[in-house]
Structure 1
Amino acid sequence: MSSLGVHSEENTQFIESDQSLGGYTASENVSSLQPSPDSNASSMSRVPGAASAAGMLEGNTGSRGTSSILASGMVDRETAGGYEDSLTTTSSSPPSVVHHSTPRHPRPTAVTLAEAVQDGDEARVRGLIAAGAKNMINAAVRGETVLHIAARMEGETGRRMVEVLVEKGGRIDLANMDGETPLKVAFLHDRAESLDAMLDTMRPAAVQKFVHSYRQDIRKGIIMAQESGGISAATLRVLADRVRLQDLYVGTEKRVSFLHMAIKAGRDDLVRVLLDRGLDMTAYSVVLGRSALAWAIGQKKTNLFPILAERMTSSMAAKEMDFALQYSTDLIPGLLQICLDCPEDTSGAATKAMCWAIREGKVELIQLSLDCGADINSFEPTGGPPPVHLAIQLGRSVCLRKLISAGADLSITAECMTHHLSLRGLRESVLFAAVRQKKSDIVEALLDAGVRWTETDESHIREFRRVSSEFGVFWFFPIFSETILRWVRAASDCEAL
């Protein structure tokens, strides 16, 4: 009878590859990567037809669960350790009559050991090993060892099974029929505890090779797991805590870290792990053209901002203000709150935020920007008018009143926004700008603040009318409201000339 469950060395060779650990050799396992003298380390092989056999163990590339069915009928009589009858004949019996001696006790088998491991029964596992199953630890059961089964198990039960098997000679460098070692199986199935137990037996250099290996695409696997949600924070922490910071970069020369990839995936749990490990969110990436912090803002990952804000300084917030104004304005209030810690270093960024708040009509952010050091009388950093003129142009009367109450200089003039060349360079007062825009609510706010119509404003009116009459472009300029003009003149005790 051929053995489909456990194969002897004379039939096939166990698939053993140092590539499956990203290049480290079996000798690098501190605890016991070498098989025991009596272990059957060469007993595994690919089993023809086993993929369709009823009762085969679950494959590594399928479900992440651990339930498997072990069919004892797939194991031959000798390796199954069934009752072995000693056949004898006597002289008084016919040759065709066979007498059976008392059967011996059954020997422990790889299948029996696998069942005990899968059940998480540590006492039974130790008992079977003590009874003679030690040489079955590295034997093949449906194309994998019992350590592969333990690697897929969850929680502390998985950890204890891995620890017991490794202690008794289980090898974490043996590949199953899919070419995957128990170490990689634990990672692919997101079994943090089992992975942790196996990494504890490895030297630091071997762990670094496992994480750093391009040959097995482990890095690509980690990135894909981050983006798909297939890796938990616990598993990533197990890996990150055992390697150097530079090992957490996809490419050192490109400076793209796992932090960038976790941010792209929106994984706040992984971002926290990597920041706790010490990755710098301000480190510049050549290939992305921005830091991890700017990457989060550019990707509009607002759910990550609270975590990033915990480690953000006022200078960081000010530096990324432009990026937030361009890509993710929802983050501006949070950045301004951080800038409050050191307003003297954030004046420029706060001024930009204030001008944005005026444009968007967000009155509540004007005071916050001023608290962060915004200059209420400076011209807009992008080349636009000063804040009061910006509010007038946009008709933001509420914002204007806020600026007035905050002490804005209402005597400041700005270049008149007109398309006609002969009027370029004309500087208009705040009241003239409001009258020209026919903004009665703005005019009222200015008059209430004590602004008055002047002779200079009257001369500008005459200049506008002269140009309009000479070039026939009455339609080109806003038609001054005579009602508003009479209003401001009366309020200013000024007669039209």
Structure 2
Amino acid sequence: MLGIFDDLAAGNLAGVTESLARDVIYENPAGEQYAALPDSGVWRGREAVVEAFRRRAQLVDVLELQQRDVVAEGDRALVVTYQRIRHLLTGAEAGYEASALLSLDDEGLVRYWRVLSESAAEADVFDSDLDERLLAAVRAGDSREVGALLRRGADPNHRETATGLTTLQTAAGLGEATVVAALVAAGGDVHSADSRAGGTALHKAVQRGDLRTIRVLVEAGAFVDAVAPTTGHTPLMDALWYKWPDVVAYLLERNAGLGLHTHYGFSLREHFEYELNVNTRGKDKLLVAEQLLQTRTREDERAAGEQRLMAAVTEGDQAAVRGLLASGAAVDERFPVLNGFNDLHTPLLVASRDGHTEIVRLLLDAGADVNATEPTFGAVPLHKAVYNGHADITRILVERPGIDLDFQGATNGYSPLHDALWHGYEECARVLMAAGARTDLVGHDGKTPLDVATESFGAEHPLVRELAALG
């Protein structure tokens, strides 16, 4: 009876078959924790059981199989074995003990085989190719299998060597919106770039032209103006290039920039003109996209022209600002995206940056958001003020209720105190310290305010010593 284990160890399925009764039942633990095992569940009949063993043999090589203990009683036996297996694709190995209950029929053939215990180490070996199987399921568009593999720990950010793409980027390029949503929900990184051209998942989805997938990625936080480091292409440039006017329309609605350049010398508009000239097919789609670009340009010009409050702030015209606020101008209205210095800034951000002290007071008194952030550097008005050495504006801002003294910018993780010290503005730094700004925050470069101050002023400067004393 126990020779069947020798046949299994040798991969001799013919020998295994000869040891099985025609109506044999093979029962292996089932359920989510055993989903990786190709022979889990109940298998009925000789052919089915041999198929279960064949599936297992396709994935792992049995390096060692020993019978550790046998307890027999009549036609039944409890067998304890030690097995060592290796995954044929990944090379992952594990050794473990397993026990099984076997019973024989009158001819001495195995009629019932029940595995009593499975090892977590064994399941880990079979799961060692999860990432490869996830990629295969993505390419097959099998959303159910994708979900099952993600629940078992497959990595949506696994990078395929041959393509340089993560699994999420592959799904995006295939236009599988449901699959992309599942990958994002499981931690897929919408900001990661492929290792060959530097495109993001959004670039890949745009190239495919699937608007549903594009929406999933943008709503998950993908940067609309992400730039591929090889070409300089943004998703909008790719949408124009691949002739997807509906995608162009959507990206323009999401404030995609028009004033950007490729890395090979073309502006976006020049790149588009080139495409118009060299394409002999699909020009009708390009012409639709051209109309969309022209409409967006006119809308930007109109929006900028209607921003009378921002214009007055930029000019430093206190009287005009006062009058516009009195007439109900939107105090936190954002400037349109023109790929300029004021893109998506509020008037307070600009006034704080440009040193318009009295205008800052007027805007704050009118209810301006003292913690408004701009998307270019991820800075707040306090960053703008101290970065440019405006100590009077710094004093005004730190006294406002609800001010966040310690907001860390998205670009470098610097707080306003970091910025003041970085640019050597001692007075601004002292205003912040007196207001209670934290001195222990760390920027993305690992530097505290003390580190920055030491570099800017030297170790013996009184301000540096004060910071050191604060710990």
Q: Which structure has more RCO (C-alpha within 8 Å, separation ≥ 6)?
A: 1
Q: TM class by shorter-chain length?
A: 0.3 to 0.5
Q: TM-score, normalised by structure 1?
A: 0.34
- Structure ranking higher in strand proportion: 2
Q: TM-score, normalised by structure 2?
A: 0.35
